[in-house]
Structures are given as C-alpha cells and as structure tokens.
Amino acid sequence: MHKTCRRLTLTLLGLAAAGTVAQASSHREAPAISQDPSGDNTDTYFFVSPNNPDNVVLVGCWWPLEEPSGGPNWYRFGEDMDYVFNIDNDGDSREDLTFSFRFHDRIQNPNTFLYATNTIDALDDPDWNFRQSYDVVRWVGAFGKATELGTDLVVPPVNIGPRTTPNYDSLVEGAFYSLDDGVRVFAGQRDDPFFVDLGGVFDLLGFRTIPGNVGDGVDNLAGFNCQAIVLEVPISMLTKDGSNPMDPDDPAAIIGMWASTRRDSNDGRALSRTKQISRLGMPLVNEVVLPLGQKDRFNASRPFNDAQFASYVLDPELARAINALYGVSVPPAPRCDLVAAFLTGIPGLNQPPDVRPAEMIRLNVTIKPDGEDSRFGVLAGDLDGFPNGRRLFDDVVDIEERVVAGVIYPAFCDPSYVPDPLAAQLGDGVDRNDVDFRADFPYLASPHQGWDHDHQRIEPSHPPMATPPAHDMETLLSGAVSRGDTWGPRDVASDASTALAFGLGASSPNPAPAGSKISFQLPQTTAVSLAIFDVGGRKVRTLVEGTLDAGAHTASWDGKDDAGRSVESGVYLYKLSTPESSAQRKLVVMQ
C-alpha cells in the first residue's frame, strides 16, 4: 500500500473510532426521505461555468421522478424547509459558507381547483392561481452573519401543456435572475438531468448487454422532471481569501460543496431552528455504498462526522456484489482508492491540504472547461470532469462502477495489482441524458410537458467503450508523486479504423521526470505546428514547426519553455495545427 494511502486510511479509521453519532445521485435513496419527496435531494452538481471561467455553478435537484402530468396539485418546493448549498473552502469538512433558499406559497383564488384558470402568458398573469416565490440568503458558516441576495423571486409555473403554458421557454426566461455582485439564480421545474438504467441496476445489477459498455440500456429517468435550484456565483465569493486563484497548487483553489434540506423543527423560521433531513455531495454514495441501517443517519449527519461511515467505503458491499454476480475480481479491503475518490479528493488534483475525509464534491476551480469533454471525466483525462466537480453530462454510474471494480486501485493502494480486464468496461448501458442540456444558464433542459412526453429512452447500440487500462490509470492519477509528473488526457478508443486520420494523442510516459512525449498522426504531407500554451493563451514552447510526411509522429517536451526555463506547475494545452485541421488537449504539470 502506498505510504500516503496507508496514512489516510489509518487517519480515517482513527476518526471513525473517535467520532460521535450525529442526528446523496440519490433518487429515493433512504427509507425516511423516500416518503418525503419535496425534501429529497436527488442530485448535486458543481462545475466551472463553461461561459464565464471566473464563475462556478451550483446545481441542486429535488423531488425524484416527477411525472410531468401530475396534476391537479403540481409539484413544488416545500414551504416549511430550507434548501441549502454548503461550502467548505479550507478542507476541514465544516460549512464556511451556506446559501439557503426559502419558498412561499400564494393562492390567488381558493375557490377553484385549477392551477390556472386560463393561459399563463406572463409571470404576473392573473390567471395563474397557485404561485411560489423565494428568498436567497448567504450565511457565513452554518448559522452566522446573513446577507440577503434576493427576495420575492418568482418560481415559474410548471410545464403543463399547450393550453396552459403554450410558450413555456419564453415565459420561464423571466425567472432567470441576475442579482448583485455577479450572482445568477433560478429555482423551478426542469428536466431531471440524471440518466441511469434504474430498472437494471436495482435488479441485481442487471446489465442488459454485459458488461454494459455498448449501449442498449434503458434510461428510466427519461421524460421525468425535478425541482431544481441553480446558483452561479463568482469564484471569489466562495474562496477562503476572496481570491480567484489561477495556480492549481494554491490552497484556495479547492472548494468542497454539498447540498442539503433542512425542515423547521418547531415553529421557527431561522436556519438555526431547522433539522437536516437530506444531504448529497458525491453521487450514489448513500444510494449504493451505505447499507439500509445507515442511510437515514447519513442524511441527518454533517460531513464533519463522516468517519462513522468509513468502514462502508473501505470495504463496499457493491464491490462484493460485482464479484458475486459477474465474477469480476475486485481489490481487497481496505479500499484507499475509494477514500480518495469519495472522501478526500485526488492528490494533486482536488485534495485540499490537511483534508478531513468527508463525502462532498470537491472542485479545483483553476482547471477550466476547454471544450474537450468526455463523459468519463478524469478517468479519460478530462480533468474538469467528475470527480473533479461534477458536470451535468458526466456519466457517474459508469465511472463509479469502474472505480469500485478497481480501475484506479494500482494508483493509490498497490502498484502491482492488475485490475480485472472487465473492470474498465462496466456500465449501465445509458450514456447520456434523454434531452440536450442548455449551453447557457441555467444549463438544465426545459421540463417535459404534461400534455406530451415520453419515458424510457433506450440507448442506441455502439462499439465498446472502455476507460484506460490499469497502467494508464496509475499514470493518470498519480500526479503528485514526484517532480515532473503530468496529468495527460487519454483517448477512449472505439474504432481502430482511423490509422490515417488526423489525430492528436496523449502525452506519455507519465510520470516522466525526464519529460513527456506527445504522439500525433497526419493523413498527408503537410505544414505542421505543435506548441504548448498556458491557460491564458500565451505560447510557452514550440515543439514542431515545419513540414512533415503522412503517418505517425512523436514530439518530446522536457517541461521547459522556449527560453530553457522549467515551467511552473499548472494547467497547459498542447495544440496541433495544420492548414486543414487543428486539435488541442490539456495536461497539468506538477513540478
């Protein structure tokens, strides 16, 4: 076992022994909250804004499996609870900042059963009968100084149908609010962004086409909606020093976030008089890692006390089930790889200094979206994806099944361990959401209409898609082990027929104290430029400039700029350009 892994594991076990009991994707994940859907936190997302890299986006979803035609009492946020985004900006697993949302009902005409008595043409339309509004408050800590960010903001109507809400998309835009200090906010019904074959997964991990990496899965959340809150804020509003860090090694660069629901415990309205009934950071932890007897306790607890659940992460039942049902060999306990993935963040990427292990989403805000996206996130070298934050399109089901099966175990626990060949191929056969996400705020797709909607989208069949093999996983995920290591992207090959295509490959070997090699191929003799750039777009090093023949080529980079100086740690891009094509990929240098 790696020394750092052994130390983290022993620390976690020590915390578990000393911890006290305190009063997640996560649809109906625990017995108590499954009977309380308005407070059921189904999903949490946290990512750098694709449109403004100085902002981050926080998304929380509630009300699992909202049937779009569920009238006459349509879905809404609870009036007796606070919906909360919690921020840990120093790694101690305590709330340093919180953003709470409190909702208020208003019935215009109590003498009708109708949600609306005619077409709703505007957010102040008198024919709209049942309305909700909300207030947004920023707190220092869990119960400290409060600052109102917005009051009496409108929750738009649900998407009923062509008679009641005929121009829904234009109607709802009035509820996309821009507040002071660069804050944007929305609360209301949206398409449920999570995608999963629920019927297969919970029928004894029933992959419809084994091992689950060729499509054919049924998205059982297709056509369903949720109640969503989307908050976009400047990064400087969340960091512990009020900065907008640019260096990945800056202690302020890593921010933890989880969402929670807190119901009034008596008649009080203040956040300090509420009782937590649900929480969710990392997807699926409460749903498939914790046993039934611990699920309600987890929902009532705070991350600071998560050591009490350590044994279920170190020796997960899901790993044993994968082995028993499919014969896939899995690593032995204790699983320090899962501690990194679920509880501490990955060293060199999104693990804070002196971190206290706890379940939350951790995001290194200096790693910006570059348009080179993979649904497999970090497993495919896409460093601004899960588990470095979580984007809407990240395929967390496939990622977590593969991680639990051991694909990153050699990188954290035992370099000699060879994962089962099937470990990097597991999945539920559902690769994407049933509808496209928005490219701009609030990013989630419009809700499905009650009048016309479809359920159970079937993923089309496709060639096998695997994440990188074990030796690449160790290379990819050991970024902070020694000087000169780099984080490099990995292609996910699905077709071997591209031998003569234009292509830019991964940097390798990695770790590589003596430098990195970058592979690329050209379909024809042509003028070529291959250069390294920093995140600000400044050219750092020219590797190739001239004419090359068709075929495969390799260029070397020694980690220095054109002046011969070693570059600083950080995110870099390497870009291949010809008169006909161009491509770029990213890596993070850890000097």
Q: Which amino acid is it at 61?
A: C
Residues 6 or more apart in contact with residue 497 via CB below 8 angstroms: none
Splitting the chain (591 residues) into consecutive groups of 10 residues, what average pLDDT does each group show? 49 44 44 75 97 97 95 94 97 97 97 96 97 97 87 98 97 98 98 95 85 93 98 98 93 97 72 82 88 90 92 93 91 93 92 94 94 90 94 97 94 89 93 97 98 93 77 49 29 34 62 64 90 77 92 86 82 81 70 54
Residues 6 or more apart in contact with residue 337 via CB below 8 angstroms: 5, 331, 403, 406, 408, 409, 411, 412, 413
Residue 26: the pLDDT is: 54
Which residue in 299, 255, 305, 322 sits closest to 96, CA to CA? 255
Q: Which residues pair with 516 in a beta bridge?
A: 557
User: 284: alpha, beta or left, given left = phi > 0 and alpha = psi -120 to 50?
Assistant: left
CATH class, 483-590 region: mainly beta
Q: Quick one: 588 exposed, middle or buried, by C-beta within 10 A (0-12, 13-18, 19+)?
A: buried
Residue 529: the pLDDT is: 93
Q: Which residues pair with 566 in a beta bridge?
A: 560
- Please report the sign of the dihedral spanned by the C-alpha atoms of residue 425, residue 311, residue 285, residue 366: negative
Q: How far from the centroid of its chain's Cα atoms is residue 83's Cα? A: 19
506: phi then psi, degrees, rounded to nearest 5: -80, 155
* 367 to 51, 54, 382: CA distances (angstroms): 14, 11, 10
d(CA 130, CA 565): 65
Q: Are 194 and 44 in contact (CB under 8 A)?
A: no
Residue 25: the pLDDT is: 53
d(CA 7, CA 1): 10
Question: What angle, 0 to 180 degrees and rounded to 10, lies between the N-to-C axes of helices 396-404 and 317-326?
Answer: 80
* 262 to 27, 269, 274, 278: CA distances (angstroms): 17, 11, 5, 7
Domain ranges of the chain: 3-23+25-458, 483-590
**Within 10 Å of residue 496's Cβ, how many Cβ atoms?**
7
572: phi then psi, degrees, rounded to nearest 5: -135, 160
**Within 10 Å of residue 452's Cβ, how many Cβ atoms?**
11
3 state SS of 532: strand
3 state SS of 455: coil
Residues 6 or more apart in contact with residue 375 via CB below 8 angstroms: 385, 393, 394, 395, 398, 431, 432
Number of Cα atoms under 13 Å in the Cβ half of residue 543: 23
Q: Which amino acid is it at 464?
A: P
DSSP element (H, E) containing 228: strand 225-234
Residue 319: the pLDDT is: 94
3 state SS of 177: strand
* 23 to 275, 534, 557: CA distances (angstroms): 9, 47, 54
Cα Rg, the chain, nearest whole Å:
24
56: phi then psi, degrees, rounded to nearest 5: -120, 155
Residues 6 or more apart in contact with residue 350 via CB below 8 angstroms: 254, 362, 363, 364, 387, 388, 389
3 state SS of 31: coil
Task: Name the CA dihedral angle for 127, 131, 136, 141, rounded to a multiple of 10 degrees.
Answer: -170
248: phi then psi, degrees, rounded to nearest 5: -60, -25
Residue 202: the pLDDT is: 86
Q: Which residues pair with 178 in a beta bridge?
A: 184
- Please report the sign of the dihedral spanned by the C-alpha atoms of residue 1, residue 396, residue 384, residue 243: negative
Write the DSSP assignment of 77-133 as a string of letters. Answer: --SSEEEEEEEESSSSSS-SEEEEEEEEEEES-TT---SBSS---STT-TTB-EEEE
Which residue in 489, 583, 588, 458 sits closest to 197, CA to CA? 458
User: 317: alpha, beta or left, given left = phi > 0 and alpha = psi -120 to 50?
Assistant: alpha
| 161-174 per-residue burial string, b: 16 or more CB within 10 A, e: under 16 | beebbeebeebbee
